Amino acid sequence: MRNVNPLSNFMPCLSTNAEEMGICLLAPVCTYYGGRSTGGDCRMGLTCCVNEITSCGPLITFNNTYWQSPAVISSESSCGLTVKLDQYLMEQRKPVCQIRLDFQAFSLAQPNTESVCNIDSFQVAGALNKIPIICGDANGQHMYLMLPRASTSVQLVMTLGTSSSPRYWRIKIAMLPCDSEFLAPEDCLQYFTTSTGSVMTFNWMDTTSRATRQLASQDYYICFRTELVNRQSSGQVATMLCLSHCQVANGQPFSLSGRVEARSQRLESSSCANDYVVFPGGFSFPMTEPVNQRDRFCGTLLSQMDEADTQQTICSTAKPFRLLYRTNGDETLTPSSDSPQLGNQGFCLSFEQKLT
């Protein structure tokens, strides 16, 4: 341990149980800063120190900090946290270009029938990209916050109204230096780095309820890193991204607009004017006749065909692989509105990168 500066190593690390991220510190220093020693994969006698915050109003400077909801949450209140950014701090040492938020647990009150988060909400201040206001459920979701070059802080704020619904959250806050290999492309709120998986909108859930779960005023890009895919045991760069409905037990895997369940966008040109997803160069796979390549999809079923009642796999060869998800500010007020009897759910889509 001789000549080891207790503040000389703030490298990211993984806890012994492989369930938490932290930073490498000497155990006494970890305790001094209020962290929890977890062993982990650190060297030179250091421990993987997990920093947890369980209060409102703190200022944090450590990478891989977990913000846990307080034991007691009051209605008609707010609970915030500030991430301080300073490359001259010993625990940062480099300029931070992005922050990644991982919602390991997240539940606030649901939106109203117009899809507005009018009781509870989570908001971010200080980012360059568009960060949507969210509420409801977001377990397993993530966000990338793009930071201004001279950024000194970012604020995360929970605004809580009057509700009997349980509120809780656990958010991992990762600071990504400007030279990190894990940076997301510019303007991407979400970034997926596997060849297969699922992507869902905030507050989507596999549920029997048909109450509105889609959130108002969403406007963000979902991006996918181009991956290697195998063909005859040799890895090749994927040339196509394909989307299809998630497998669900009771929920609606695709429900952005419309008056009936399991029906794709209507014939009218205005049918995808309010709430929709843009998938550039989308086409059905395998191709169907007539070929109807389109970019914009809505309704309650994913299909290239208008007024269809059978879902299709939609693929695109346009790179970079990305989606644009956009909703307006209501469900029933804007012309070409949705039926109040059918609350839209958002979407859950399985994705797979392939070779053409």
233 and 204 within one domain: yes
* Distant-in-sequence, close-in-space partners of 88: CB < 8 Å, separation ≥ 6: none
pLDDT at position 246? 97
What mean pLDDT do residues 170-179 have? Answer: 94
23 and 125 within one domain: no
pLDDT at position 227? 94
pLDDT tens digits along 50-95:
999 999 999 999 999 999 999 988 888 999 999 999 988 888 888 9
**In the predicted model, is pLDDT for residue 262 greater than 90?**
no
**In the predicted model, is pLDDT for residue 301 greater than 50?**
yes
Q: Are the C-beta atoms of residues 291 and 221 closer than 8 Å to each other?
A: no
326 and 200 within one domain: yes
235 and 347 within one domain: yes
307 and 201 within one domain: yes
Query: Structure pTM?
Result: 0.91
**How many angstroms separate the CA atoms of 258 and 68, rounded?**
38
Q: Which residue has the higher pLDDT, 263 or 144?
A: 144
266 and 143 within one domain: no
CATH number of the domain bearing residue 90: 2.60.120.290
pLDDT at position 264? 81
341 and 200 within one domain: yes
* Distant-in-sequence, close-in-space partners of 328: CB < 8 Å, separation ≥ 6: 216, 217, 274, 275, 334
210 and 167 within one domain: no
185 located within any domain? no
Q: Which domain holds residue 22?
A: 1-50
Tokens of 65: 């900090």
If we measure between CA atoms, which residue out of 216, 228, 47, 24 comes closest to residue 134?
Answer: 216
> Considering its fold, how many domains does the chain have in total?
3
Question: How many other CB atoms are there within 10 angstroms of residue 164's CB atom?
Answer: 6
